[in-house]
Amino acid sequence: MPDDRQNYIDGEWTESHTGETFETTDPASPEEVVATYPQSDAEDTERAIEAADAASDDWGTTPGPERGRILTETGSLLADRKDDLTELLVREEGKTWSEAAGEVQRAIDIFHYYGAKASDLGGTVKSSSARNTNLYTKNEPLGVAGLITPWNYPIAIPAWKIAPALAAGNTIVIKPATLAPGVVHEMASALEEAGLPDGVINVVTGPGSTVGDAIAGHSAVDAVSFTGSTQVGNAVYDTATEDGKRVQLEMGGKNPTLVTDSADVEEAADIVSAGAFGVTGQACTAASRAIVHEDVYDEFVEAIVERAEAIDHGHGLDDPGMGPHVSESELESTLEYVDIAEDEGATLECGGNELDREGYFVEPAVFSDVDNDMRLAQEEVFGPVLAVIPVSDFDEGVEVANDVDFGLSASVVTDDHTEANRFVEEVEAGVVKINEKTTGLELHVPFGGMKDSSSETYREQGDAGLDFYQISKTVYDNY
């Protein structure tokens, strides 16, 4: 029997005022309905924003250690329910069990991390140039934070927005992605059980064109944090900044891994395979371009094809090597890019076919003979499709890596320390890795991109994640 879920507004679970609903289904078994959710509109969103606004003053003046206790308790409650959360995430998003469990654990860790950080929030004390004067700063919450989150990391990304926003004393209205909103509802339930006051977090499900726009454009919302596509993110930015809101956008990527002639080719193939094909390629940080020195190019292509062909598929609950795409439209988009790449003259080395089975499954694809001006090398595919691009030397490799509109994550595989340091200095990306896959993030350091991957305003995670949700006040106390 599918779960019948509701919006969470002002401490109560409630239906949309229209009574309309939508369903989520299992990507590995699309005939199976997982849950129903309210198809909310601007009026529902308005009620949620009003609730957050009304709760803002009390929550903003709640002592940091008390806010931190609630976050820490939430993390513990999520840990107690880890298996149930993992199963729900698998059934709505399609990840393998291992991938989903890792994501749930990340959310748990994020709540514990910001629970501890909340006790340390404050300002700085400086020495005044005047006598009999205390000079210091104090940090204050912005007020109401509007959060718009994607389906591909449906618990981790909401967690790394929700936890710092609450730690800093803001109230929240969040619109989770309609393809996989269930785990956000579970976080709200855990926060409620941990003692979060009514109205401090509000969850509204529904389309971005109504709920998202209402959040971005409402005068009572003080900050908007968005993760999703560049096209939608730019529209959110335009709407939100009309009345001067603080805005944070993290968007698409076309992430390169540069494999130099000094690299261990087998190690490079392992790194690129994990970055390109993990989570079915549905990550903004996925490695979609392998830029490979011509001296090791053929060897690398052979090695990466071997790894792609060894990946097994299945329902995420069985923990295979790869799960399905999240939806039929995402599958069709990947298949379309396979056709585009072949039409442009790239060589399909393996994969790229829809599997003859129930669900939205596709074979991971490897293309060789790719020029960096092809659409396959320039546009975000968001599926397990890898373009392998030959270069003659390190300098050309960095030039090709930078020759895209995006700049989110980038990695280099090399045994040359000078090359590694030069790559860090010269590549245009917000996350740079040496001998590591492009995917995977530590929660206590900043995350964000450059160019069309980000608004380049505020970073997420770590201390930077708190900075977005606070404003500093400078105090001159002449005693």
| Rounded CA separation 223/237 (Å) | 11
Of 318, 324, 354, nearest to 336 by C-alpha is 354
Q: How many CB atoms lie within 10 A of CB 87?
A: 16
> What is the pLDDT of the chain when averaged over all its residues?
97
Residue 99, burial from CB neighbour count under 10 angstroms (0-12, 13-18, 19+) = buried
Query: Token digits for 182?
Result: 């269930």
Residue 118, burial from CB neighbour count under 10 angstroms (0-12, 13-18, 19+) = buried
Q: Which residues form the catalytic set?
A: 250
Residues 224-240 pLDDT 10s: 999 999 999 999 999 99
Match 């009345």 to its residue by tokens: 243
Residues 305-324 pLDDT 10s: 999 999 999 999 999 999 99
Question: What is the pLDDT averaged over residues 404-419?
Answer: 98
Q: What angle do CA 325, 381, 351 make, to 5 degrees?
A: 65
Indicate the pTM of the whole model. Answer: 0.96
Of 300, 220, 215, 226, nearest to 263 by C-alpha is 300
| Rounded CA separation 212/102 (Å) | 28
pLDDT for the residue 322: 98
pLDDT for the residue 18: 87
pLDDT for the residue 3: 86
Query: Going from the N-terminus, what domains does the chain have, and what CATH number goes with each?
Result: 3-251+454-478 (3.40.605.10), 255-434 (3.40.309.10)
Of 293, 322, 318, nearest to 412 by C-alpha is 293
Categorize the per-residue pLDDT at 2 as very low, low, confident or very high, splitting at 50, 70 and 90: confident
Q: Where are the alpha helices (DSSP H) in 346-392?
A: 375-378
Query: Token digits for 117?
Result: 């950080």
Residues 414-448 pLDDT 10s: 999 999 999 999 999 999 999 999 999 999 999 99
Residue 384, burial from CB neighbour count under 10 angstroms (0-12, 13-18, 19+) = buried
- Contact in structure between 336 and 344 (CB atoms under 8 Å): no
pLDDT at residue 1 is higher than 80 = no
| Rounded CA separation 95/104 (Å) | 12
| Rounded CA separation 10/48 (Å) | 7
pLDDT for the residue 475: 97
| Rounded CA separation 125/138 (Å) | 9
Residues 34-78 pLDDT 10s: 999 999 999 999 999 999 999 999 999 999 999 999 999 999 999
